[in-house]
Structure 1
């Protein structure tokens, strides 16, 4: 049933909603409701008919599945000593994450090109939102050019907007269309996405984008990847040359001090953590911060060392699966997404089990995409051979 036209349209709308409505939905509540209607509901309705695909995924990625189950189980156990305002809500969020991850093998139905196609359109759509955000911020609102641009909707934050837009640039860079008309739009979209990251002045997003493109020839060994890597190096040098005052004006933004304070908090509850969903504040240099500004220390503060080890296992297993499929177009895209997300996690992301938000793009989206790698390994399409259907 998941292969029928109506089911594919339903799920396509769901993935596009996840990718685009975060910038276009007028409220976060509407964004969440749309995800329930277009993503979670079809995944649950179609799960039984897609059980053979789910069994194939489990057999091929059993260790990843066990690590995810272990992380969820430990999170539920930690509710016993945690201080979450509503433990049942935290448990429900874990269920949402599980259904989100199951959505990808159900939607792909052993055809990774389906996911690539929707991600391509999602990337182009995010490029349009980046353009609209730039016009609104500098043109309509009249901000000075050196002000930090903000995205639309839930991306109305220079850092979070920079991460989502930067990640879109990475997957578009790997998954380019083949037709000439769309290739022209693709180049414009890449310029808009990269320009938005620079204008956001999010050094974490810019560094993650730069290092990922620079490393791209490692897993995508073709002429195009080397050209983009050289271009990224040139752009980075020029950007630092002309924007050095803006780059250095904010110093290190208390990141080393926040890290030290976070490690001290971890030392107080190294094995149990504070518990899933427990709120906390980090005090550093007389300042109060509402999170650890690093996903790994955030997880350890909440879930202790066991939680860190389980999440680390999930993340490394995603890398392993992507590396094994690095000769395929889909695998190379997931490699790039993994690299960008890993780098971005180090600077500002601090939400793993919250409701769907910008942080999901660099935490759960890579894991969801990795579940489709089971079928990508059967294809030998590389970076220089893009599906004609795109």
Structure 2
């Protein structure tokens, strides 16, 4: 009886890691562009990633022990603990159990990516590539609809559950950087199709009319140029300069038509609030309202991830947040001889840069912001765990 139970547990664990989690990860990456509504997107995440990952951890606690030794995951756990402690002085109207679920969802994302990476069949890499391939026809369809129905001043939103051009840019930018990084790291025969795919995603990104992702793409390119440092780096640098000149000369309104969109005023007002409680912040889930008189609108986010972390969790939380990202970027630089770390490093640099003028909420449920925060971090942590396990097996 005991042997039958062990056999069932082993088969279930393998099924979760090799099939359910990869399917869930693909759905997480492309679901916003493919599924009709966000509530379904959340349910798919719960059913195919959160619950299966938790079940796998319970089934094989020893096999998952490597998760809790990864520096990025440790930093995340400490940051999440501090955020939950800060609920004690928050004026939130949400229950503690509701807020507690938020970091748990993200932890299950970390666990899912690590469990896939530990499998011998490269499920994590193949799932990411499959999602990138699925996004190509989805993006092409959205672009065709946008072009055929274009009106002056229109901005691409995309299909599915996407509903905001700025948020959509996170999704298109993520896959643009992914394909661009692959074009820099794969063999010459494979790099050209990847480059064409990157151009397609770049066109969709520009069609959203969002400007910060363009800056983020440039910084991700700088990472690729330095991390790869080859003849392709010179071509990428030259291409970037030429594209910037083309934008300035042909489409200057894309860069300057909307000015700074009140970002400096938002940041200044947020910092003035932070000065009231700089060290501990106002607490996870606290209310935030930044009123802009010229627009007669109150914003609930400072449109800067770091400032959002600073507002909710104070200087202590921001230090933990920066440590988490710094550890992840260090891992990518340390292992840059492995092309997967170079690719994930580009995604992380893009995410950090895109967060300079967008977002502000922390520890959210799955949404576009995950493409520029938690997903790159989870991929890097998973790769680091996989590398340490491989090194341990070889020694």
TM-score (norm. length: structure 2): 0.88
* Residue number in structure 2 paired with 1:190: 198
User: What are the equivalent positions in structure 2 for 1:274-313 lying under 5 Å apart?
Assistant: 274-287=282-295, 288-313=298-323
| 1:64–1:93 CA distance, 2 compared to 1 (3 A) | same
Structure 2 equivalent of residue 244 of structure 1: 252
Tell me, what secondary structure is at the counterpart of 1:83?
coil
Distance 1:179 1:41 in 2: 38
- State the secondary structure of the residue aligned to 1:4: helix
Counterparts of 2:217 and 2:387, CA distance in 1: 24
Structure 2 residue matching 1:372: 3-state secondary structure: helix
Superposed CA offset, 1:188-222 (max 9, x none): 32121010111112110111112211331211123
| RMSD across aligned positions (CA) | 2.5
Contact 1:344 1:362 (C-alpha < 8 Å) held by counterparts: yes
Q: Which residue of 2 aligns with 1:20?
A: 30
Moved more, 186-195 or 308-317: 186-195
Deviation, 1:133, is 1.6
Is residue 352–residue 363 contact of structure 1 (8 Å, CA) maintained in 2? no
> Contact conserved, 1:330 with 1:376, CA < 8 A, in 2?
no
Q: Shift in Å at residue 186 of structure 1? A: 3.2
Distance verdict in 2 for CA 1:114–1:220, change over 3 Å: farther
The partner residue of 2:87 within 79, 82, 89 is 79
What count of residue pairs does the alignment treat as equivalent?
Answer: 376
Give the unaligned 5+ runs of structure 2: 1-9
Deviation digits for residues 97-156 of structure 1 (CA, Å, limit 9, x no counterpart):
1111111111111559432222122122223222222222332xx222652211223333
Distance 2:147 2:277 in 1: 46
1:1-390 alignment to 2 at 5 Å?
1=10, 4=14, 7-59=17-69, 61=70, 63-87=71-95, 88-109=97-118, 113-139=122-148, 142-144=149-151, 146-175=153-182, 185-287=193-295, 288-374=298-384, 375-376=386-387
Q: Distance in 2 between matches of 1:231 and 1:71?
A: 39
1:270-303: CA deviations, max 9, x gaps?
1232211123111245443221000000111111
SS of alignment partner, residue 116 of structure 1: helix
**SS, match of residue 148 in structure 1:** coil
Partners of 2:253 and 2:179 in 1: how far apart?
A: 30
CA distance in 1, matches of 2:285, 2:116: 30
